[in-house]
A = this chain, B = another copy of it.
């Protein structure tokens, strides 16, 4: 066997890009792409169903004007619940298992092997990817859960938590997408399906919704500060009653 053939052999042992990426003990998935997407869809659907049930139970218990949950907030409960699930369970699984992910068997390793076609950094313990996902799996998860709790309980920290979660999601995702762009998308399989559907479309959710929710919270918080400042100022101006 020539030197050329040996390199060719080693290179074609996995379908990821760049071709020369080293995936320790790489084992192919046992599930098909469709099967993996169906499982992911079912998990997300059950999180959405749970959040709808929570919102419904809340509406039945609290029927006053003050505690009514508006349509944006209903959507926010679903969105942040799904985020908490994905950040903690799926991305947390990656952070905890990044060293052996390429060689593992099971649904989550299959899911990551599928997604990694759009970004092989998930199978090579890329330092930036591991640390960014560690922040996502801890900080973003806590802030997402506080947002859900805050909406259902009318907590005063709700919009601060929502703003923190959205900003962190945006920061992480902009860095994530831009670093791959900066390196000419060398980590991405050139097939349009992996680039457009997995890398661009799936990640775009964590660009548009964080922008929407960050603006939503910014507006709400500045309005609250205006009202509060006015109240505090008016009270300090009132003549003291003896």
Contact = CB atoms under 8 A, between A and B. Distances in A.
Give chain A's interface residue range (CB within 8 Å of chain B).
35 or more
A228 interface: yes
A186 to B, nearest CB: 10
Contacts of A191: none
A2 interface: no
A220 B218 CA distance: 14
Interface in A140-174: 154, 156-160, 163-164, 167-168, 171-172, 174
Number of copies: 2
A131 B128 CA distance: 12
B128 A175 contact: yes
A135 B172 CA distance: 11
B178 A131 contact: yes
Interface centre among A131, A154, A159, A232 (most CB of B within 10 A): A131
A156 B226 contact: yes
Contacts of A57: none
Interface of A: 65-66, 127-128, 130-132, 134-135, 154, 156-160, 163-164, 167-168, 171-172, 174-175, 178-179, 182-183, 217-218, 220-229, 231-233, 236
